[in-house]
A and B are shown apart, each in its own frame.
Chain A
Amino acid sequence: MTPPADLVVRNVRVPGRDGAYDLLCAAGRVLTLAPHDPAAAFPRARVVDGQGLLLMPALTDAHTHLREPGQEWKEDIASGLAAAAGGGFSNIMCMANTDPVNDNAAVTKLMLRRAAESWPNGPRLFPVGALTVGLAGRELAPMEELREAGCAAFSNDGEPVADTEIFRRALEYAADLAPVVDHCEDPYMGKGTGANEGAVSARLGLRGQPDVAEALQVARDILLAEYLRAPVHLAHVSCRRAVELIAAAKKRGAPVTAETCPHYLLMTDAALLGYDTMAKVNPPLRSDDDRAALIEALRDGVIDILATDHAPHAAHEKETPFEDAKNGITGLDTALASLWELVRQGRLSAEDIVTRFAWRPAEIFSLPVNRFAPGDPADFLLFDPEESWVVTTEALRSKGKNTPLLGQSLTGRVVMTVVEGVVVHDLGRPAGS
């Protein structure tokens, strides 16, 4: 028999459905999501008034850098998960480019212990193991050991494997264990410049990196994935050329999936004018044409998922001349609110966001997810699409305040995040009757 509901959201709207709904949860699981019943009473439940709010499954971020161990001045797992909770995430994957590198079970377990100590009820952490030892691109990392310790994927993110022979063997070896995520960047061409090669870099006198440097590695990875029948997930796609390669590959049935990040959908390299180091990121912000191609690709599924590539840095690491500044934008706190601008413009739907930022990433990486079916984990967020807020350093829970959105006003805010029935973020909406 069904237990009584212990957590209820009443009178809430749900993307893709008409009318108002009531979500009933018990013991961390979904009981039902049913049309709103004004007469129903829930004497034993915490009841949240969802009027004016949107209910979405909590998000999965397949691409973050939480910097612990080793670079805790930028971020640590506790602060990273705080930002995740505030941003509406229930699942967080964190990359292996820590110090020491996450290339063995001891590091993976340390990360998981830190997460359990700081956020015992979630958001859940899923470390990404290194693909090669020390991310050096020479020897394969012990992937079975990493998987058993809790890694959900393998990646040399930040230090892509240049040697194609090694990368081929890594894809083959990993194929039966967990997905491989690849940061696509030619090892030589305009490497790491953080500026797109184009009119803006020409005017500013900055060394630029062409989109071709990304597309070359995307093509390499697609060809290998098809040849080896080994899946590969293409991280942070930033340009039309890569989108076109992926679209053609998917048409042929190649086992590739792809992600892009909010900043590539919202900004272009024009953000670099004035040498704004906050907009320095790798891959770099591209042209408006690239931006349009990415939005379209996300809508039609050529790009499978959204991820933040949350890359926190300390203030002094960005307060430098452009070429000395670190690459990266912090994203967990602002992802959904910033993307909401595209929903308001009608360029993405709220359903696109649910599919691309919750359901599909969980599917690719085999993570728990809430599809609002009975028995699903009670992972959800409540979003106020009308609330305006200013992105101040205080409003960001991440230690990294490095975002070009700083000082801007966003419309739409995550007001509550729930993971397995536990409220991990609550801006204090009035309780319902």
Chain B
Amino acid sequence: MNWPHKDLLDVSQLSREDVEVVMRTAASFREINARPVKKVPTLKGKSVVLFFAEPSTRTKTSFDIAGKRLSADTFSLAKTGSSLQKGETLKDTALTLEAMNPDAIVIRHASSGAADFVARRVGCAVINAGDGWHAHPTQALLDLFTLREVWGDELVGKTVVILGDIAHSRVARSNCRLLPMLGARVRLCAPRTLLPKAATALGVEVFNDIDAALDGADAVMCLRLQLERQEAGLLPDLREYARRFCLTTKRLSRAAPGVKVMHPGPINRGVEIASDLADAGNSLILDQVSSGVAVRMAILYLHITRKEKGETS
């Protein structure tokens, strides 16, 4: 099939069939990542701009590797040292990048809606690598890919707990869209200060009590806690947070047998998740990282090779 979307802004734009296409494509690329020579010429001559206006090592590296393994040329534009620090508007940056004719722009930005803003102003594909608190579609897709590798394609009947700073989490918002689409039950769990006031508008169950949330859970996705939340008056301190919400072996015993543990990284050990759990056999944290490369290869491939309506090959 021809990929129907110019951009990937959030998972909410994807149909169930689109998601299956991404999963199938990622599975085929995963095989390349296991080869001794991890490179195919699929995107030779294509260029991908990695425009990260917010600090990021993991996601940026993941996209960089994904692009290079498909033989695309990748170019980094960071906020530090760029014209963005000199007061250039996002509109002008977008138009400047557009004038250089890239095939895709991967954007990470601190403002919710920034990827959409750029996508409306450029002709090439725009891939949202995280916009403010709004969306992080490739993270949700790689989380789904990871869970399917252990559970198989069927998510109906599974319960996934998303634990931690929901209010400020684009990962949580995207997963609240994607996992229920595949039939999973999603529970959010956080202190009230780290939930949006209208959290139920996200369409999933909301818990303030971690034990109740974990009861019978099949997977627990911990979120990173930004250390500055304490200064904003949302938390007393990290120790206090850990006392109520750190995922420990004891707490996890209420979950279903074989429960899986996930984290988008980077981890604050002993804050969001006990150190031993992060390294335990049921942790999928490193599988998420490997899935990330395959999923991002799929996303770059689908968006860069798509044909405009009426265009012939």
Indicate if the CB atoms of B173 and A205 lie closer than 8 Å.
yes
Q: Are B89 and A204 in contact (CB under 8 A)?
A: no
Whether B199 is near chain A, meaning CB under 8 Å from some CB there, is yes
Residue of B nearest to A275 (CB): B113
Contact between chains at A202 and B113 (CB < 8 Å): no
User: Nearest CB to that of A196 among chain B residues?
Assistant: B198
Query: B111 near A322 (CB under 8 angstroms)?
Result: yes
Measured between beta carbons, the chain B residues less than 8 angstroms from A208 are: 196-197
Cα distance A365–B117 when bound, in Å? 43
A8-16, A313-321, A402-410 - interface stretch: A313-321
User: Do A201 and B196 touch (CB < 8 A)?
Assistant: yes
Evaluate contact between A275 and B116: CB separation under 8 angstroms.
Answer: yes
A187: which B residues are within 8 A, CB to CB? none
A203 x B173 contact (CB < 8 A) = yes
Q: Report the count of interface residues on B (CB-CB < 8 A).
A: 23
The answer on a CB contact under 8 Å between B89 and A203 is no
The answer for the CA separation of A324 and B113 in the assembled complex, in Å, is 11
Q: Complex Cα distance A274/B116, Å? A: 8
User: When the two chains form the complex, which single residue of B91, B199, B201, B202 contacts A320, counting CB atoms closer than 8 Å?
Assistant: B91
Cross-chain contact A324 with B201 (CB below 8 angstroms): no
1/0 contact string of B231-257 vs chain A (CB within 8 Å): 000000000000000000000000000
The answer on a CB contact under 8 Å between B197 and A202 is yes
Known contacts being A199-B198, A275-B113, A275-B116, is A205 close to B170, with CB within 8 Å?
A: yes
The B-contacting residues of A in range 190-211, CB under 8 angstroms, are 197-206, 208, 210
Chain A interface residue bracket vs B: 20 to 34
B197 touches A321 (CB 8 A): no
**Identity of the chain B residue whose Cβ is nearest the Cβ of A324 in the assembled complex:** B111
Residues on the A chain within 8 Å of B131, using CB: 205
Contacts of B89 in A (CB 8 A): 316, 319-320
B173 — which chain A residues lie within 8 A by C-beta?
203, 205
- Give the residue name and chain of the B residue nearest to A322 (CB): B113
Within B182-206, the residues touching A (CB, 8 Å) are: 196-199, 201-202
- B135 A205 Cβ-Cβ under 8 A: yes
Cα A324 to Cα B198 in complex, Å, equals: 23
Contact of B109 among A203, A274, A321 (CB under 8 A): A321
Q: Is A341 close to B, CB under 8 A? A: no
Pair B198/A323 contact, Cβ less than 8 Å? no
Do the beta carbons of B197 and A197 come within 8 Å of each other?
A: yes
Instruction: Compute how far the CA of A121 lies from the CA of B79 in the bound complex, rounded to whole angstroms.
Output: 53
Q: Mark each residue of chain A from 305 to 317: 1 if its CB lies under 8 Å from any CB of chain B, else 0.
A: 0000000000010
Is A205 touching B112 in the complex (CB atoms < 8 A)? yes
Q: Which of A198, A202, A275, A324 counts the most B-chain CB atoms under 10 A from its CB?
A: A202
Looking at the complex, which one of B116, B197, B201 makes contact with A203 (CB distance below 8 Å)? Answer: B201
Q: B134 and A205: CB pair below 8 A? A: yes
Query: Is the pair B201, A199 in contact by a Cβ cutoff of 8 Å?
Result: yes
Residues from chain B with a CB closer than 8 A to the CB of A210 are 197
Which residues on the A side are within 8 Å of B265 (C-beta)? none
Give 6 closest A-B pairs by Cβ, nearest first.
Answer: A199-B201, A205-B133, A275-B113, A205-B134, A321-B111, A202-B196
A-side interface residues toward B, CB under 8 Å?
197-206, 208, 210, 274-275, 316, 319-324
List the interface of chain B (C-beta within 8 A of A). Answer: 89-91, 109, 111-114, 116-117, 131-135, 170, 173, 196-199, 201-202
Interface CB pairs A-B, < 8 A, 25: A197-B197, A200-B201, A201-B196, A202-B196, A202-B197, A202-B199, A202-B201, A202-B202, A203-B201, A203-B202, A205-B132, A205-B170, A206-B112, A206-B134, A210-B197, A275-B113, A275-B117, A319-B89, A320-B89, A320-B90, A320-B117, A321-B109, A321-B114, A322-B111, A322-B112
- List 15 additional A-B contacts (Cβ < 8 Å) besides A205-B170, A316-B89: A197-B197, A197-B198, A200-B201, A204-B134, A205-B112, A205-B132, A205-B134, A205-B135, A316-B91, A321-B111, A321-B112, A323-B111, A323-B112, A323-B132, A324-B90
